[in-house]
Amino acid sequence: MKIAIYPGSFDPITNGHIDIIERAVGLFDKVIVAVSKNFEKNPLFSERERLEMIEKSVVHLDNVVVDSFQGLLVNYASENNAKAIIRGLRALSDFEFEFKMALMNRSLKDEVTTVFLMPHAKYTHLSSSLVREVGELNGDVSKLVPSHVMKAVKEKFGIE
């Protein structure tokens, strides 16, 4: 069984993340979407809220499991018999950080391979941080996140 981990902060999950998950399920038998608990920045959404938003966003997909993890990603991958780590690559600006992370993870555990997937071009500019910023300023994020996430973002900022 080919198992992949799709790790991230998912604060909140966006349509770009969902696009990557949908591509990954076509390539792997099981995809574990894993929320990192070692989020140094102050997250807008709690771990539980992020997990719930992801769960709702992947109900249409059979072979997806939603979980959270603490500590080293490569250890979590091994514990779950995953040989692949999925990361989305949007633009060249992602590359340097992703390249360093992939090589560090490889040096920690050579048998876990990072696989980069590109989301649809319409999501190239999209990030959770932009969703938070635009949402806080009451901008329209309806094309960027599922409707339940949009509602949660508005509620977080006390916007009707």
Tell me if 10 sits within 8 A of 120, measured CB to CB. no
Q: Which of 30, 50, 87, 90 is catalytic?
A: 90
- Least distance between ligand PNS and beta carbon 56 (Å): 19
Q: Over the Cα atoms of the chain, what is R_g?
A: 15
Side-chain half-sphere exposure of 12, counting CA atoms within 13 A: 32
Note whether 8 binds ligand PNS by CB under 6 A. Answer: yes
User: Position 114: which residue type?
Assistant: T
**Interface characters, 36-55, with ligand PNS (x: CB under 6 A):** x-x-----------------
User: Position 29: which residue type?
Assistant: D
- Clarify whether 125 is annotated catalytic: no
Contacts (CB under 6 A) with ligand PNS, residues 105-124: 105
- Clarify whether 60 is annotated catalytic: no
SS3 state at 98 = helix
Count CB-CB contacts under 10 A for residue 59: 8
- Clarify whether 41 is annotated catalytic: yes
Q: Which of 9, 17, 36, 87 is catalytic?
A: 17
Please report, as ranges, the residues that interact with ligand PNS according to CB under 6 A.
7-9, 36, 38, 72-73, 101, 104-105
